[in-house]
Amino acid sequence: MIHARKLSRHYGESSNRVTALDSIDLTIDSGSRVGILGRSGSGKTTLLNLLAGLDRPTDGSLSVADQELQKLTASQLAQYRRETVGVIFQSFQLIPNRSAFQNVELPLILAGANTADRKRRVDEAIDRVGLTKRSRHKPSELSGGEQQRVAVARAMVSRPKVLLADEPTGNLDSKTAQSVTELMLEMVEENGSTLILITHDRHLAESCCDRIVHLLDGRLLDEHTGSTGGQA
């Protein structure tokens, strides 16, 4: 499903050059749940950006769902983002002047889905995250947990093969974080998606994932199985 070979990402030139990812080799099977653990600056988010098609590797290759990301054009990469991956960000990244419904609808609009199909799928997604009554509210009128539920619905509405979650509970209290995590896992399960969870929270990674990868200074340290033991 996901194959990274000698994957590197450097920023800057010559003396100012910073290595965010340094020659990583990684293979992730389809339908698995992988936690990527590491401290700040370890390269977690850089890896997520590469997997999400938001950035391009400096060296090496990255293949997701049989697509060599480094070879794709800008337009193909945008299509990859629309159709293959869904991303959940720590800070929700909802468009402030659009309602919950409209935020969830956005990926489908970009994919060119027709209005009727769009409405049905968005209603289902919103209903799935339990925000039917709040669907006309704007993000500023929703709590943090509700906003992240909207973000989960938006990430999953186009039924992506890969769900990338970057510290999805980082801005939530523990109780809300628990419910959002459960929701996310349920939806991944229902959709049969591959989950890549970027976090620095070992407990969260261990509770959600069947495989945990450690990153330090842009290098892959080691990996072990999580509490789910591969029984996703």
Partner 1 sequence: MNISDTIWMSVHNLWSRKGRSLLNLSGVVVSCVLLLLTLAGTRGGREGILDIMNASEQTKRFMIFGSHDRSAKVPDEALAVPDGVSEGRRERLLQQLEKEWRNKNAKRIRLNPEHMAKLRSIEQVHSIVWQNPVQCRLEWVEKAFDNQTGVETDASERAKPTSGSLIGIDPADVRTSNRLLLGEMISRDDQQGVMIDEVTAYKLGFRTDDDLAKLIGLELEISCSLGKAAANSATNLLAGIENLLSSETIGLLRRVTKQLDRTDLSDQEKTAIKNAMKLLPSSEPSIDSAKDRAPKTQSADTPDDVRIDAKGNRTLVRSGIVRGILKQPEDDDLFGFLQFTGVQRRANVYVHHHVTEEIYSRRVGFVDYWAVAGSVSAVADLPEAIERIESLGFRTRSALGIVEKVDKEVGKVRLAAGALALVILIVAAIGICNTMIVAVFERTTEFGIMKSLGAEDRHVLNLVLLEGLITGVIGAAVAVVTSYGAARLISQIARSWIEDRLNGRFDQAVFSFHPVDVIIVFVIAALMCILASLLPAWRAAKMNPIAAMKRT
* Residue ranges that bind partner 1, judged by CB under 8 A: 49, 52, 54-55, 74-75, 78-83, 87, 89, 91, 93-98, 102, 106-107, 109-112, 154
Q: What is the CA radius of gyration of the chain?
A: 17
Nearer to partner 1, 88 or 131 (CB): 88
| Cβ-based nearer residue to partner 1, 115 or 132 | 115
The residues pairing with 197 across neighbouring beta strands, listed in sequence order, are 35, 165
**Nearest residue to 3 (alpha-carbon basis) of 33, 35, 28, 30:** 28
Residue 129 Cβ vs partner 1, minimum distance, rounded to whole Å: 17
User: Between residues 92 and 209, which has the closer beta carbon with respect to partner 1?
Assistant: 92
Residues in the chain: 232
- Least Å distance between CB 55 and partner 1? 6
CA dihedral 43, 47, 52, 53 (to 10 degrees): 100
- Cβ proximity to partner 1: between 106 and 216 the closer is 106
Rounded CA separation 60/222 (Å):
20
Contact 7, 62 (CB under 8 A): yes
Min dist. Cβ of residue 20 to partner 1 (A): 12
The encoded tokens of residue 214 equal 């450690």
For residue 137, give both structure tokens: 């509210």
Please report how close the Cβ of residue 82 comes to partner 1 at its closest, in angstroms. Answer: 3
Q: Supply the minimum distance, in Å, between the C-beta of residue 11 and partner 1.
A: 11
For residue 19, the minimal CB distance to partner 1 (Å) is 17
Beta strand 33-38 with 211-216 is: parallel
Q: Find all residues with CB under 8 Å of 89, minimum gap 6, and list them.
A: 151, 166, 168
Q: Burial, 31: exposed, middle or buried (Cβ in 10 Å; 0-12, 13-18, 19+)?
A: middle
Residue 94 or 152: the one with the smaller Cβ distance to partner 1 is 94
Which helix (H) or strand (E) segment holds residue 33: the answer is: strand 33-38
**Residue in 232, 160, 171, 166 with CA at minimum distance from that of residue 196:** 166
Question: Closer CB to partner 1, residue 139 or residue 226?
Answer: 139
CB of 29 to partner 1, least distance (A): 25
Cβ proximity to partner 1: between 1 and 54 the closer is 54
